Amino acid sequence: MKCPTCGISVSKRNLTCHSCEAELPRTAEQEMAATAESGGGGGGKIFPILGWVFAILSLFVIPILFGIAGIVMGVFTIKRRSKIHGIIIIIASIVLMILGSVISALMMMV
């Protein structure tokens, strides 16, 4: 489908245009998912959970990989669930990623 605002080609699954950030008209399927989410109150729950898991993993294994994964989950959390929670996850991911890098650097020196 095409974005009604800027005309760029966008995925049907996106809620907003990746180019101009305009809200896209929702399909019936997305409408149902959104209703289920607001009713259940559990929409996008997986993002903060994965964010914390990745952030903590970045402290122990491959800090860059899991740190970035944690940041990405933080971004999803901001978009889908809670702005503040998402920002906390991003900050935690960055801090733990740096700590994890320092720890692995120290381990190599030993």
Within positions 11 to 50, which residues make up the interface with Zn ion, using CB under 5 A?
A: 17, 19-20, 22
Contacts of residue 66, defined as CB under 8 A and 6 or more positions apart, other chains included, come to 54, 55, 57, 58, 97, 100
In the complex, minimum distance from the CB of residue 5 to Zn ion, in angstroms, rounded to a whole number: 4
> Which of residues 3, 24, 90, 92 is near Zn ion by CB under 5 A?
3
In the complex, minimum distance from the CB of residue 98 to Zn ion, in angstroms, rounded to a whole number: 36
Main-chain phi, psi angles of 9, to 5 degrees: -75, 125
**Of 19 and 27, which has the nearer Cβ to Zn ion?**
19
The position carrying tokens 């760029």 is 8
Within positions 55 to 84, which residues make up the interface with Zn ion, using CB under 5 A?
A: none
Positive or negative, the Cα torsion across 75, 76, 82, 88? negative
The residue ranges that bind Zn ion (CB under 5 A) are: 3, 5-6, 17, 19-20, 22
